[in-house]
Amino acid sequence: MKIILIRFSIILGLLAATQVFAEDIKRDFSTVMQGAKIFKENCSVCHGHHGQGNPGWRTRGSDGKLLPPPLNGSGHAWHHTLPILRQRVLYGGIPTGGSMPPFRDKLKLPEIDAIIAWLQSRWPDDIFKKWENANRLEKRR
């Protein structure tokens, strides 16, 4: 009985996470401005005030960790779907060789989405369209 309850809890958790990650984000002016403020308070110390990242982001620092990448459309962030972007903020970059800490205990999903909306407002139109197309394909799977 205990195993069944554990499995049921895991399945419910996965379904809830899937539902949360499947939704799109708001990109209205208010959300984007909120994202700018949250980014400045939590992310700009490493990624730069405008999301420009570290100039040497493609190399590892003296500690062997990847340096903060640009998030303004000139790096690789736009290659990641919305669920991956959310997961990166929630769980950080340490598991993949970076030094970004997890923000799951500090930021709520709507705040993370606001940050992403602000970053995307800075992306060139062609980059954003490529990102949107990749997300549409991912949703169809």
pLDDT in tens, 100-124: 999 999 999 999 999 999 999 999 9
| Residue 13: inside a domain | no
Q: Which residue has the higher pLDDT, 22 or 96?
A: 96
| Residue 14: inside a domain | no
DSSP one-letter string for 29-76: HHHHHHHHHHHHHHTHHHH-TTS---TTTTSB-TTSPBPPPP-SSSSS
| Residue 58: inside a domain | yes
| Residue 8: inside a domain | no
Q: How many domains does the chain have?
A: 1
CATH number at residue 129: 1.10.760.10
| Residue 16: inside a domain | no
Are 95 and 102 in contact by the 8 Å Cβ rule? The answer is no
Task: Report the percent of the chain where pLDDT is more than 70.
Answer: 84
The mean pLDDT of 12-18, rounded to a whole number, is: 43
Q: For residue 42, give its domain range.
A: 25-140
| Residue 32: inside a domain | yes
What is the average pLDDT value for the chain, to the nearest integer?
87
| Residue 4: inside a domain | no
The mean pLDDT of 81-96, rounded to a whole number, is: 95
pLDDT in tens, 41-58: 999 999 999 999 999 999
Determine the pLDDT at residue 23.
Answer: 62
